[in-house]
Structure 1
Amino acid sequence: PSTTRSPSASYICPTFTGRLGNNLFQFASGYGIAASKNVQFVIGEGDNINKIFKLKADNHLIVSKTRRECAAAKFRGEGRASGFDPNVLKFKADTTHRVGNFLQSWKYFHNVSSDIRGQLKFRDHIQTKADSTINGFLKKYNTTRENVTVIGIHVRRGDMVNHGFGYQVATKEYFEKAVALFNNYSSPLFVVCTNDLAWSKANIPKSSKVEFVSGNSPEVDMAVMASCDHVITSVGSYGWWAGWLSNGTVTYYKWPAREGSGLRSAYSSDYMDYFYPHWIGL
């Protein structure tokens, strides 16, 4: 079917706020909501997500020069940022709606996850840098991709360590447990991406081959982790997407928010609207 519709058609429009991890949830959930309403989701050519990924127009997506389709959109907001809110979906698709703000639940896009995987291919200049990063480590150990299991480790600390809102960073013990789990895989090679290199070098277990990535843009680091076989995530939406895009075995830190905090109330009671099914909580 044609992907161009008449100007009188209605659309779903995004609310892009925050950084890459937030934008990926906003994109995927918006796309999923559009698909469930059988209309198209509108992305602007200049949107960050379009500069990083090779987005292609399809039955549920338009890449628009001006986003004029969104000029008169009605806003439809969530009840909690990191939980599924069925009320977001309770609207008639005969007018254009802007959805937001964070929509950080896989339940908004589970029905179209294979389409979203197809859309979220990194642009060549990003993927090439990621590949050369991993290939450099393989060369160092005189091995090939077929002979190792590459495990990405995301360590996010920096902006979260002393934050009053309730963020809890993944602990040294968490990383020890996760590394121990993957040490059971054949010939593991751990590749660490972090915003706190000093802490990571001091605390990530050195029992196996461990390499640290530094100096890349956030999108190249994400492409590195997405290219790994499996991922040890820490906290935050950025690591969530690195894990999801890898499509391998993923571990997560079970307590990303302090009980009773503002952040905790953004999640469902068991966190399961947020963490992906079959991921391993440690």
Structure 2
Amino acid sequence: MEKYLQCFRNVPMTLENKTEKDFERMKISSKGIWTINSIGRLGNQMGEYATLYALAKLNGHQAYILPAMANYLCPIFKITLPTLHDSVRNKIPLKGYNLHDWMDDQYRSIPGDYVSLSGYPCSWTFYHHIREEIRREFTFHDFLKEQANAFLRRIAGKRKNVTYVGVHVRRGDYIHVMPNVWKGVIADKKYLDTAMAYFRNKYKNVIFAVTSNGMDWCKENIDNSEGDVFFSDDPKQSSPADDIAILAHCNHTIMTIGTFGYWAGYLVGGETIYLTNFTLPESPFLKLFKYEAAFLPQWIGIPADLSPLLPKKTSN
């Protein structure tokens, strides 16, 4: 419990205890109040936070996060944005403003001092110009950093000069959602074999640290014939916070699909391999999603095998 209490001792100032007069003075002297919806899981929350941070700064306003986002992020990262509590939020005439998943020129001049952004933004196009600031915002608390490094040291054993490759395999609800809703696929064994072969061929002493919400599938399908694959499924250390800390402290990244893996690659800053072209051309997903806005240009995309989505050929 002590390690979690430490996370909140230096949490930025909130607006919870301000009086009406205090609030009126703030309205006059401050740079307004901008916030964003707190929806989705950890990867989405990080995307929303980074987007709010960047757009509020670009437009010259003060950003605040909602309590739900603070509850998600404060126990993991040393974020600096203050929290806008409901007791104050309900008194502010915030103007709603919906965002695409990617940056648009119109977002450089969003009108209003009191704005509530909405959407599921998770694109480097919003904030890559201040990348180092964003990466500092997502500095891990010391106890998570220590746990991640201890795990990596343990799996390295007596190996020297190890190159760590973090692997995130998103499964869970995507197993059904991708083919049935979005007309797409998730990563298969062939994709992971190809991605891992790239790093095995390029670097010496490679170790793969695998995180997933479908670990049983990973253990059955990931080739560990070389004894260089380790799975982070310790029940005492298996949470989204622990997993992303492990991934972020590796040297390179293999992601599949989803915002969680994206953020691992973005924080690491090494080489990242991702699954690309994972939907049929007519997928409704492509109305909401742009590959070129989702993945950095220098990242390496491996096209997905879409054959499971195609009609089965029948023999006469």
Equivalent residue, structure 1, for 2:88 = 68
Equivalent residue, structure 1, for 2:294 = 274
Superposition RMSD on alpha carbons, in Å?
2.3
Q: 1:249 aligns with which of 268, 271, 276?
A: 271
- Number of aligned positions between the proteins: 267
Alpha-carbon distance, 1:67 to partner: 7.7
1:34 and 2:56 aligned: yes
Gaps of 5+ in 1: none
CA distance 1:21–1:135, shift in 2 (3 Å):
same
Cα distance in 2 for residues equivalent to 1:198 and 1:55: 34
**How do 1:165-244 residues align onto structure 2 when only pairs under 5 Å count?**
165-166=181-182, 167-183=184-200, 184-208=202-226, 209-214=228-233, 215=235, 216-244=238-266
Alpha-carbon distance, 1:51 to partner: 2.4
Q: 2:129 aligns with which of 72, 90, 111?
A: 111
Equivalent residue, structure 1, for 2:171 = 157
Cα distance in 1 for residues equivalent to 2:103 and 2:85: 31
Q: 2:59–2:110: 8 Å Cα contact kept in structure 1?
A: no
Structure holding more helix per residue: 2
Q: 1:73–1:98: 8 Å Cα contact kept in structure 2?
A: yes
Cα distance in 2 for residues equivalent to 1:263 and 1:85: 19
Q: Which amino acid aligns with 1:40?
A: Q
Alpha-carbon distance, 1:276 to partner: 1.6
TM-score, normalised to structure 2's length? 0.78
Q: 2:37–2:119: 8 Å Cα contact kept in structure 1?
A: yes
Cα distance in 2 for residues equivalent to 1:135 and 1:187: 13
Gaps of 5+ in 2: 1-12, 15-22, 303-316
- Larger-gyration structure (1/2): 2
Q: 1:233–1:240: 8 Å Cα contact kept in structure 2?
A: yes
Deviations 1:52-75 (A, max 9, x none): 21112xxxx434566836832211
Equivalent residue, structure 2, for 1:77 = 98
Deviations 1:222-253 (A, max 9, x none): 01000000000010001100111111110100
Q: Which amino acid aligns with 1:274?
A: A
Q: 2:106 aligns with which of 87, 109, 113?
A: 87
Equivalent residue, structure 1, for 2:153 = 135
